[in-house]
């Protein structure tokens, strides 16, 4: 199985998570949407990850999902969001991930976020339990 992680980030959390996930998943490639828009055709599994600001995922990810909707609907997909407010998680998912995709996704996980006005030097904001859950779901169902 060939997996692609596509992500968008502003403060780096989604990149850290994408790299951590890729280190735990076999045959896994990473694409930063701000540098390259990938052709997902040759991948079996696509993991989409984005930071959240003001309740929204970032524009390049929103556009990528819209532009690739038909292909994504026939792929295996998983999502992660880097967000700092757990209370608004459910609403954020509903607002940002189209229902057709969220219904079909293997999993949608909150992986933690860099708290506002901080720049942590380590990854202690990462929700390891959710990282493990995503890796397990992708590995089992991929
Ligand atoms: C201006 C700003 C707005 C934010 N808005 C939200 C929000 O609406 N919901 C949330 O859960 N986290 C929010 N956060 C926290 C971010 O989700 C967190 O910093 C995360 O690490 C962003 O992902 P990124 O580092 O990949 O860009 C906000 C952070 C900033 C700086």
The region, left, alpha or beta by phi > 0 then psi within -120 to 50, assigned to residue 122 is: beta
Place of tokens 């989409």: 48
pLDDT at 141: 84
Here the tokens at position 105 are 């996704």
> Please, what sign has the CA dihedral across residues 107, 111, 39, 44?
negative
Question: Atom 15 of ligand 1 has which residue's CA nearest to it?
Answer: 84
Question: Atom 14 of ligand 1 has which residue's CA nearest to it?
Answer: 53
Residues 103-129: tens digit of each pLDDT = 999 999 999 999 888 888 888 999 999
pLDDT at 80: 98
CA–CA dist 53, 81 (Å, integer): 11
In the reported structure, the alpha carbon of residue 102 is separated from the centroid of ligand 1 by a whole-number distance in angstroms of 21
Q: What is the mean pLDDT of residues 36-45?
A: 95
In the reported structure, the alpha carbon of residue 54 is separated from the centroid of ligand 1 by a whole-number distance in angstroms of 7
pLDDT at 123: 84
CB within 8 Å of 50: residues ≥ 6 apart: 7, 8, 9, 14, 57, 58, 61, 81, 82, 96
**Average pLDDT, whole number, for the chain?**
96
Q: Could you tell me how far CA 65 lies from the centroid of its own chain?
A: 12
Query: Between the CA of residue 10 and those of 59, 89, 90, 132, 138, what are the distances in Å?
Result: 11, 19, 22, 24, 25
Q: Which atom of ligand 1 is nearest to the CA of 55?
A: 8
> Which of 30, 82, 83, 122 to probe ligand 1 with, by most ligand atoms within 8 A of CB?
83
CA–CA dist 117, 137 (Å, integer): 33
In the reported structure, the alpha carbon of residue 5 is separated from the centroid of ligand 1 by a whole-number distance in angstroms of 20
pLDDT band at residue 11, thresholds of 50, 70 and 90? very high
CA–CA dist 110, 30 (Å, integer): 19
In the reported structure, the alpha carbon of residue 31 is separated from the centroid of ligand 1 by a whole-number distance in angstroms of 20
In the reported structure, the alpha carbon of residue 28 is separated from the centroid of ligand 1 by a whole-number distance in angstroms of 26
Question: Atom 19 of ligand 1 has which residue's CA nearest to it?
Answer: 114
């Amino acid at each position: 199985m060939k997996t692609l992680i596509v992500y968008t980030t502003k403060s780096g959390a989604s990149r850290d998570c994408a790299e951590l996930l890729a280190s735990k998943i076999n045959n896994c490639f990473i694409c930063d949407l701000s540098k390259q828009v990938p052709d997902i055709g040759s991948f079996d599994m696509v993991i989409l990850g984005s930071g959240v600001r003001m309740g929204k995922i970032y524009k390049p990810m929103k556009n990528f999902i819209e532009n690739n909707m038909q292909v994504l609907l026939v792929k295996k997909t998983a999502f992660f969001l880097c967000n700092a407010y757990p209370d608004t998680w459910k609403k954020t998912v509903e607002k940002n991930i189209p229902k057709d995709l969220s219904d079909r996704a293997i999993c949608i996980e909150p992986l933690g976020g860099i708290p506002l006005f901080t720049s942590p030097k380590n990854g202690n904001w990462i929700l390891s339990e959710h990282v493990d859950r995503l890796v397990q779901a992708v590995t089992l169902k991929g």
